[in-house]
Amino acid sequence: MGAPEFVLKLREKIGNDALWLPAVRGVVFNDDGQVLLGQRADNGHWALITGMLEPGEHPAPGLVREIFEETAVVARTERIIGVGVVGPITFPNGDVCDFLDITFRCRYVSGEARVNDDESLAVGWFGLDELPEMSAGNLEAIRLATEPEGPVAYQPEDEGY
């Protein structure tokens, strides 16, 4: 699955210039305390499940949609654990995006984790002591999600998330 239709229409007007887009990310735990990860098709890196929100889409249902579309797992959001900015990211075609990232702690409800679209090479559950190599932002999100009732973490302006 490529860029959403609304992004393609914007790109027709602005070319590769930077876009500011709302995005969501989920730290999904199953009953065994494992976290759901996907190996991204665009760069081969393991990461939490993420996605862009459609115009007018609320963040929590949008994330639940993204998790299902990418992994066939049904999840429910429990709470927001972080808000920050990811980017700028330059994609292979030259498009530039900055993402307002809202990260949620989520709970597994049902489904068999599998690659469910073309955005992932692999999908799986990982124990916290067996995580693959991932970005510092993903590791920090997992750490925040393990805190039972921690406050929402807001990214300082001078740090990556």
Encoding tokens for residue 137? 């932002």
pLDDT at residue 161, rounded to an integer: 42
In angstroms, rounded to a whole number, what is the distance separating the alpha carbons of residues 7 and 91? 13
pTM attached to this predicted model:
0.89
With vertex at residue 96, the alpha carbon angle to CA 21 and CA 64, rounded to the nearest 5 degrees, is 35
Paired residues of 89 in beta bridges: 97
Q: What is the pLDDT of residues 88-115, one digit of tens each?
A: 989 888 999 999 999 999 999 999 999 9
Q: How many residues does the chain have?
A: 161
| Contact assessment for residue 35 and residue 153, using Cβ atoms and an 8 Å cutoff | no
The torsion of the CA quartet 142, 146, 148, 150, rounded to 10 degrees, works out to: -40
| pLDDT: which is higher, 118 or 22 | 22
Encoding tokens for residue 128? 């916290």
pLDDT at residue 121, rounded to an integer: 95
